[in-house]
Chains A and B, each alone.
Chain A
């Protein structure tokens, strides 16, 4: 079965899982992923599976080296996530996780845009539940915002896909050549990849997911988008710059974050920046680098989220202002976490070292000096936040006498397995390089590279150590681009007057008014309309000052009288008849 669509296995699994007895479900999840793995290794590059749909040919399965590379890491991560989450009893999370992994695979192996669209939407809907499953008010709200953002992205994608189909006559998913349709599609891919300014949703939603849910979230949506960009837009120079800037953007915001998982979420943006830059460079080395980095990132980011997730599980906290002094009680988690931290920082002998540098090398080959410096700057920030600051404040720093709960063995096992792979790739890069789409002409372990990396890391550490005493985590949040749709959507109250310019104040006042209006409109549209009309009448025509309508809609208040209804009908009739007479 060299062309079997793996997504089917997961969909079937998701349908069958709720029917199984409770104790069997976690095993069943692992079984489904294992079965998928067996099918995966039987896939052959070049195989396709298509069938006709109206006037088009849908290519439900398109196997080549690029999709295989992503396919492998998705299935592996799906398995590791299942090991980590073995203790989860919530069937909803298990079913949804299967759908999420399955639909991600569906997108990666899709050969046509319609199949891509279908699985893209399923990805969005299933991942929302991983956020909602936490069942706190914040997660409900964040999940809702996540849903709306992705629904919007999905609509744009649909419009772009249909436009593309209509203008080119082709439904196949390959490199896009430009035109409005491809810009729409690029927009929606960039949204899912969290390219700024479309990144607001990610640091908003990912920290609100469940302990296991966020591990899955961190691995799939953004990397599926990276794959999509690599397939459709490789070589687009805009992406190279966007990626480089994104890489630094993420680390700056990450440094300001207080919640450990939000910090990690911002680092997703930063690391995806490397991948996007690699795609933008577009050469074989660039795409290889992006793919390699995606592979490594899925694993080590999953590991990092597992680590912080374990801390959250054991202590109930994830904010650095509330953590500290866990070294004695949770040192195994620290060790495993640091494997992930070293990987992401690009320490030699760990996976990040052999993947990140490929992207940077691709930039060097193209003489893109600014990009090289920006990406290296991002590495500095990464090691700073994840290798130094976060572990320091979580496991050391102020001892808050926390008494962590015991942690299920599955979580340790999941972290250990993932760490093992991260180290394995670091020590023996050919394991990863053999999966890459193009032939690899790169040797990461050169003297200059090792020396440069060590210099970078050691002296970042020095700078941190010098400033360490002065650093303290603050219980704050940062504004990000989601301010645009979050501020106007909440009834605000008095703000800390940090803003210096009065322009900022004026904008805030305006958005507050906009916010209140939108809320009132949403709660009682006819009332809002009446209020507006009466207010206009009062201000411009001097009619009586209006008494505000009630906040919620009440059908009895706005019921249109029978006579008015009949009058409207008659007016319509007269209008239509008059049209006949006149024309």
Chain B
């Protein structure tokens, strides 16, 4: 477990460094995030958590139903 965390943190650092040297200098888009190193790493991490969280919330409180919600699947018309 601890080894994996170490791996990920090092990946994060490496990617931020790569970002700083190879990417940020260009700033080709003029978007606010092109100047932030490691933006996409953060976006990926937080975005994933947010997606999962929001989806689960939506499901739990609104959208989810039993499988036969729309009626028993019988042979009738």
Which residues of A approach B to under 8 Å, CB–CB?
Answer: 137-138, 141, 251-253, 255-256, 364, 367, 369, 372-373, 376-377, 380-381, 384, 447-448, 451-460, 462-465, 467, 471, 474-480, 486-487, 490-493, 495-496, 498-500
Contacts and interface: CB of A to CB of B under 8 A. Distances in A.
Contacts of A463: 44-46, 48-49, 52
B52 to A, nearest CB: 6
Interface residues of B, number: 47
Contact of B59 (A459, A465, A476): A476
Contacts of A380: 43-44, 47-48, 51
Give the top 9 A-B pairs by smallest Cβ distance, nearest first: A463-B48, A459-B44, A455-B41, A490-B71, A459-B45, A456-B44, A455-B40, A448-B23, A255-B55
Name B's interface SS.
Answer: helix
A253 B67 CA distance: 15
B63 A478 contact: yes
Interface in B13-68: 15, 18-19, 22-23, 26, 29-32, 38-49, 51-52, 54-56, 58-67
A205 B23 CA distance: 44
Nearest to B58: A252
A319 to B, nearest CB: 9
A583 to B, nearest CB: 49
Given A138-B73, A380-B48, A467-B49, A448 B26 contact: yes
12 contacts: A137-B75, A138-B73, A377-B43, A451-B22, A455-B43, A455-B44, A465-B4, A477-B66, A478-B63, A479-B65, A492-B71, A498-B64
B75 A384 contact: no
Contact of A498 (B15, B26, B44, B62): B62
A252 B44 contact: no
A496 B43 contact: no
Contacts of A253: 55, 63
A256 B47 contact: no
B19 A451 contact: yes
Most A Cβ at <10 Å: residue of B11, B32, B47: B47
A458 B39 CA distance: 13
A462 B63 contact: no
A458 B41 contact: yes
B15 A451 contact: yes
Given A478-B64, A479-B63, 10 more contacts: A137-B75, A252-B54, A256-B63, A372-B31, A448-B23, A453-B40, A456-B44, A475-B67, A476-B65, A479-B64
A460 B44 contact: yes
A458 B48 CA distance: 11
Contacts of A486: 70
Nearest to A456: B44
A471 B48 CA distance: 13
B18 A451 contact: yes
A459 B43 CA distance: 8
Nearest to B54: A252
Nearest to B46: A463
Contacts of A455: 15, 19, 38-41, 43-44
Contacts of A369: 31-32
A381 B48 CA distance: 7
Contact of A447 (B8, B22, B44, B62): B22
A384 B53 CA distance: 13
